[in-house]
Amino acid sequence: MRAVHFEEFSQRPVLRDVADPAPTPRGVVVRVETTGLCRSDVHGWLGHDAGIALPHVPGHELVGIIESVGAAVRRFSAGQRVTVPFVCACGRCPECRSGNGQVCRNQTQPGFTHWGSYAELVALHDADDNLIPVPAELDSGAAALLGCRFATAYRGLAHQARVQPGESLLVIGCGGVGLSAVMIGVALGATVTAVDIDGSTLERARRLGAARTIDSSGMSREALLGSIESSVPEGVNVSVDALGLAETATIGILSLLPRGRHVQIGLFSSDPVIPMSAVIARELTVLGSHGMPARDYPELLALVASGTLRPEALIERRITLDEAPDALVAMASGNHPAGVTVIDVVPR
């Protein structure tokens, strides 16, 4: 098969022929239709994830058709169209048995613990516990985004923070995860304020339903907190850091009303210092969102099928597998265009 492949961290990936994967007894091999270009893949390529062994193929958001099936798989067969959470659960540990496969202690992650979906074929493990059937009519780009950023934002807001209609939601950082959070917050009935340093990105947030936007470029912490206070006179009930910087997490926490909830979705390159004194004094709740278990996907897919949520609205560009190495390098260097990019492995 053809795959995007690198042998050293930060070394430019190349598209090359590699051996086809074979399914494990409990796993499957999927022929990839479309996969997402995600900043998490950049973190992996740069060597920020200790679980990656070299050489490596990145990619963790995907949709495709099952090509082959392991002997112990019971619920799925070749020819089915599926997606999968980026955290694949083992199905047997205490976390999985309690319904929390997204924090499985034996988890596997395509593109991290093993070769991923920037390839024509990808192996997925523990298929019966992780695969999610995808309707034939659902756009492949939309289906791929359900594997990571969209599902992570949905779980963070709907299941962790439990956003209620009429609440005020602040989204800091309007990349793919942030714009997903804007869309989901609007669908849940929240009044959304989006913060970013890029005017075109903020315009996207407005188009997706943000009631207010704040251009934070060049602002100090105090100035931005003042802008949030004046722009959101009712105060902030829930904040989301979709970027993953110590400063953006701090802004999210300090912006909250007493008893507010902060959701951390953006990944850090190192552990930050956060304002715990504010957490204590205001009785704030700090929540993480690490994907969503497969068993919760029907709820999300029902909203997509009804048109309440339209993940495809996030997609700004579609590229081929041949273009993926340059796109990954460009995203790492900050030269990648704004908006969500997906990689169509099978030409549309």
Q: How far apart are CA 263 and CA 178, in angstroms?
A: 11
Rounded to whole angstroms, the Cα distance separating 18 from 192 reads 45
Q: Are 133 and 179 within one domain?
A: no
Same domain, 305 and 283: no
Q: What is the CATH number of the domain that holds 62?
A: 3.90.180.10
Q: Whose CA is closest to 291, among 182, 95, 117, 149? A: 149
Residue with tokens 């319904």: 99
- CA–CA dist 215, 198 (Å, integer): 7
CATH number of the domain at 201, please.
Answer: 3.40.50.720
Q: What's the predicted TM-score (pTM) here?
A: 0.90
Range of the domain at 29: 2-148+292-344
Asked if 35 and 140 count as a contact pair (C-beta separation under 8 A), the reply is no
Burial class, 79, CB count within 10 angstroms (exposed 0-12 / middle 13-18 / buried 19+): exposed
Shared domain for 280 and 297, answered yes or no, is no
What's phi and psi for 48, nearest 5 deg?
-85, -5
In degrees and rounded to multiples of 5, residue 166 shows phi and psi of: 90, -10
Write down the pLDDT at residue 345: 96
Same domain, 142 and 232: no
For every one of its 348 residues, what pLDDT tens digit does the chain have, with 9 covering 90 and above? 999 999 999 999 999 999 999 999 999 999 999 999 988 899 899 998 888 999 999 999 999 999 999 999 999 999 999 999 999 999 999 999 999 999 999 999 999 999 999 999 999 999 999 999 999 999 999 999 998 889 999 999 999 999 999 999 999 999 889 999 999 999 999 999 999 999 999 999 999 999 999 999 999 999 999 999 999 999 999 999 999 999 999 999 999 999 999 999 998 878 899 999 999 999 999 999 998 999 999 999 999 989 999 999 989 899 999 999 999 999 988 777 767 899 999 987
Question: Does 144 share its domain with 16?
Answer: yes
pLDDT at 339: 74
| 135 and 226 belong to one structural domain | no
Same domain, 93 and 229: no
Q: Do 140 and 9 fall within a single domain? A: yes
What does the pLDDT read at residue 50? 84
pLDDT of the residue at 48: 86
**What is the 8-class DSSP label of residue 307?**
T
In the chain, the number of structural domains is 2
Q: Let me know whether 104 and 24 are in one domain.
A: yes
Query: Of 139, 143, 161, whose CA–CA distance to 151 is shortest?
Result: 143
